[in-house]
Structure 1
């Protein structure tokens, strides 16, 4: 067997075998009171602060106005809002966008470069270790090799035909109050945003998962409007995502290297 074939087999095994025979478990969320004392507890708390106040904590790594928890809701503990619960037991993992097995550190930096339109953080630095410590603590109730119900985003019917004009009307009616009539978000008066911008220079770039229509629609369907999730139909979610994902936003030149082994989704930017 050639090295290339062996690599492909290993990638497939890592990505599928851990979860193939194990049903998803209910997502357990630990109480803050269980954060231990001492250096590890300090790192966990620091990780939570970074992820919930990312722009102010890491201004040199964040190129827009977003925090990680704008998408990973409630500190990464909300089902179908890409929760972090259980992630430390899921990585390394094969990612088709990367075309290889990647570490959790690489996945974190993917978000810094794409969703945060910024720069990666040091793999072995205090900030990365704090983020991983927080995610490991969140995952403490999930057995290694077990997926959690609610990981990622809710499934959406990708056969639906988007209507961006209808999406524009839905946006004005259901989304603009929080995200602004022009997608500019709502400033918090401290250099950041109380409600995140959905397009423009301070939003995620075209390489982010949320810039993909069906990915954004899946998030919207389950979670938006905030506090009123699942009040839009799947068609309405696809329509509004078709509208806002196609608005102007920063470019990401490295997206040309995505899906090197094929399988590029039809909504990839």
Structure 2
């Protein structure tokens, strides 16, 4: 076989280009799901930074939908919750599931779906599960405006970076007691959520047909307990002990609530958390034979 002659200088340059190309492909910060170790401070951008009139209109409409979700999209919301029911202070408070920085963490592999999700997938998860409703058109105006607002809230944050204050503090798992949880609920939660968890003008329903369904993240006791401990009651957060938080979360999440039939397809690659208290389809030959 004949090979064309390549001068040493040309070969050296070609080798450098190949190495540079390989390194560029390997840079983790180019993919949101492969987060860098960079940690950035929590910062909420000012509305004054929304200078372009078209972008501003889209972002502000997206914010309005997130703050008044049921009123804005009654066909897509099936209960009394809105996006800001769980994302405290309109998604702008650190350590309270803020929307700030969320946009740059997608695309992201999520074990529950077993695939790489876009931010539109994550938003529709909330509509279908937490709000017990119907998914938005992923290419429609409503979704576009919501995503625009989330993108604005992530202004200046590098793709894949870890932001201070993202999510909320997590507790170590412990056993909750629903009997003790009733007492905690009556003394701490009734004034906002109602004696029967039906919700009030101040706060959403915690169980029943107007609450989140069994496929929602908040239906998991560990998640709910951590949220309650860190952020509830809304005006006196962190007055409950971790044990009290697990007790009241156990009580709330053992009350009746809407089903989510598609839950059986969750965690298709395995790894279902212990507090996801529902059956999913088997993921291995051993499980399928049981």
Q: If the length of structure 1 is used for normalisation, what is the TM-score?
A: 0.88
Q: Paired residue for 2:57?
A: 42
Structure 1 stretches of 5 or more lacking a match? 1-12, 188-193
Q: Paired residue for 2:242?
A: 234
- 5 Å matches for 1:116-135? 116-135=131-150
- 5 Å matches for 1:11-160? 17-19=34-36, 21-22=37-38, 24-158=39-173, 160=174
Q: Deviations over 1:96-141 (max 9, x none)?
A: 1011111000000000000010000011111001000110111113
Equivalent position to 1:252, from 260, 263, 273: 260
Counterpart Cα distance in 2 of 1:106 and 1:214: 23
Given the superposition, is the C-alpha separation of residues 85 and 241 from structure 1 closer, same or farther in structure 2, using an over 3 Å criterion? same
Counterpart Cα distance in 2 of 1:14 and 1:93: 9
* 1:93, distance to aligned residue in structure 2 (A): 0.2
Deviates more, 1:91-100 or 1:75-84: 75-84
Q: Paired residue for 1:211?
A: 219
Preserved contact between residue 28 and residue 141 of structure 1 (Cα < 8 Å): no
Counterpart Cα distance in 2 of 1:168 and 1:197: 16
* 1:30, distance to aligned residue in structure 2 (A): 1.2
Bigger radius of gyration, 1 or 2? 2
- 5 Å matches for 1:155-174? 155-158=170-173, 160-174=174-188
Aligned residues: 248
Counterpart Cα distance in 2 of 1:17 and 1:124: 25
Q: Paired residue for 2:9?
A: none
Equivalent position to 2:195, from 175, 181, 200: 181
Counterpart Cα distance in 2 of 1:16 and 1:33: 30
Structure 2 stretches of 5 or more lacking a match? 1-29, 278-290
Counterpart Cα distance in 1 of 2:51 and 2:189: 40
The higher-RCO structure (CA 8 Å, 6+ apart) is: 1
Deviates more, 1:33-42 or 1:112-121: 33-42
* 1:197, distance to aligned residue in structure 2 (A): 0.7
Preserved contact between residue 32 and residue 159 of structure 2 (Cα < 8 Å): no
Preserved contact between residue 15 and residue 94 of structure 1 (Cα < 8 Å): no
C-alpha RMSD of the superposition: 1.5
Counterpart Cα distance in 1 of 2:33 and 2:52: 36
Counterpart Cα distance in 2 of 1:261 and 1:104: 21
* 1:164, distance to aligned residue in structure 2 (A): 1.4
Secondary structure at the counterpart of residue 89 of structure 2: helix
